Amino acid sequence: MIRISFRQGMLAGFVMIVLLLGGASLGSWLVVEHFVDRSRQNGEQALQMAASIQELGERTVDMARSARQFLVLEEATIRQRFDDNLAQALAVVDRLDALDAKPLRSLLGEWREWAEKLRRGINHSTPAAELTPVMSRLAEINGLLKGAGQHWIDIQNSTLLAELEASRLRLGGQIALALGGAFLVVLAVGWWLVRPLRNLEQAIARLGEKRFDEPVEVGGPADFRQLGRQLDWLRQRLAELEDDRERALRHVSHELKTPLTALREGVALLQEEVPGPLGIAQQEVVTILQNNVMGLQRQIEGLLSLNAAAFESNHLVRQSVGLRDFLAETARRRELHSQARQLTLSIEAPDEQVAIDAEKVAVIIDNLLSNAIDFSPDGGEIRLLAGIGDGKLRIECIDQGPGVADEDQERIFEPFVQGRRKASAPRQGSGVGLSIVRELARAMGAQVSLLPSTVGAHFLVEIPDEKNK
């Protein structure tokens, strides 16, 4: 099967558009040229006819004058002048007859007949009184020829205008068809290119969100298909590297936990003075060791939690739950934590059913509440809001703490990043809570963002709700 590349498709589209519009332009040019030629031809014929009719009238007057003079004087020179005028008049009649003007044809024949009668009368020396009606009739025919000529010119002009109008309508239809064809070509080429481009954009977005389970399939031009195959190879390679990373992280974390546990137990024995009494300086050293060992343990546990979240993100289990009861049950896990700080936790949510991965959403809410509790002032309020609209579940967590500094807003969701603003109470976390929130949100096709707020931090999570789509 022949595969057309992007360049070939674009070139073919441009060639078709050029042919359509060029054909319409050529047709327009031919119509204009034809009209100009016909107009010039009609003008020349009208000018020639008017001049010939005028000349015929002048020759007729000269013929009548010469005939009268000859009938009186009977001189040969005058007769020769009559014959010359008659010959010139007949030549003019022949020129008019050559124009093939139907309104003039019968009048020209009649003019020849009366001119022949005048010539015969001159030859037979007919009295002037008998030839006067003949000469008058020739003058009348000249007048009729003038009117008939003007009528023929008007007919030619009307015919040309009617032809021009018909050509204009036909040309308008051709131009409309050409433009419609060009528009259809543009739509076809656009559809042929937009669909694979959208597939490429979606594939790149999935790769950026670490969703390596969906194969990359791109249609359209041959080079786009090749690019899709390369992206699919990249997807497989990234999936392998991600598996290697997770495996290495689990291995390193496990290998670190064993000596760390022994180190922690040894420090605990020293702190309890099991080997023997410690001096003040020695107790300070042991305290420093214990704090660092605890900090190292929290970092390792954070790595394991983040790795577990990345692993679980590939497995979605959707179920229908009551939104208000689900939020209340999830918030209850942080009840002792919030009571220790004398915080008020308010929940605002409709009593509706939603289809979500309850376990992952619960982890997201738990991390957001933990973060809000740590940064809220004693006796403050934390608001947990939820709503459904446009096929999405919106969950908001709002606290009254110091908020997030402007310079931290772009990196607050990165692993082990803790903002510049300090929490109201000493924190025991490792800085991976919001990273876990983002990882799980991506797994569900959701989005997590930090909204502008004058007081405290305002986090928003938008999760697709399959039940209300």
Choose among 394, 362, 393, 396: nearest CA to 382: 396
Q: Where are the domains of the chain?
A: 6-184, 236-312, 319-468
Percent of the chain with pLDDT strictly greater than 90 = 3
pLDDT digits (tens, 9 = 90+) for 192-239: 777 777 888 888 887 776 677 778 887 777 777 888 888 888 888 888
Distance of CA 340 to the CA centre of its chain: 57
Q: Is the pLDDT of residue 254 over 80?
A: no
- With cut-offs at 50, 70 and 90, classify the pLDDT of residue 397: very high
Q: For residue 262, give the DSSP letter.
A: H
Task: Reply yes or no on whether the pLDDT at 91 is more than 50.
Answer: yes
Q: What residues contact residue 409 under an 8 Å CB cut-off, 6+ apart?
A: 450
436-450 pLDDT tens trace: 888 888 878 888 888
**C-alpha neighbours within 13 Å on the C-beta side of residue 139:** 11
Whether the CB-CB separation of 442 and 209 falls below 8 Å is answered with yes
pLDDT per position as a tens digit, 62-80 = 888 888 888 777 788 888 8
Is the pLDDT at 249 greater than 70? The verdict is: no
Over the range 193-223, which residues count as b (16 or more CB within 10 Å of their CB) and which as e? Answer: beebeebbeebeebbeebbbeeebebebbeb
pLDDT band at 395 (very low <50, low <70, confident <90, very high): very high
Domain 6-184 in this protein, CATH class: mainly alpha
Q: Flag whether pLDDT at 330 surpasses 60.
A: yes
Same fold yes or no, 6-184 and 319-468:
no
Q: What is the spatial distance between Cα 133 and Cα 130, in angstroms, rounded to a whole number? A: 7
The CATH topology of domain 319-468 is Heat Shock Protein 90 (3.30.565)
Answer yes or no: is pLDDT of 130 > 70.
yes
Q: CB–CB of 302/367 below 8 Å? A: no
Between 302 and 54, the higher pLDDT residue: 54
- Rounded to whole angstroms, the Cα distance separating 339 from 102 reads 114
Q: Nearest CA to 130 among 139, 116, 114, 118?
A: 118
pLDDT band at 1 (very low <50, low <70, confident <90, very high): very low
Do the beta carbons of residue 461 and residue 364 sit within 8 Å?
Answer: yes
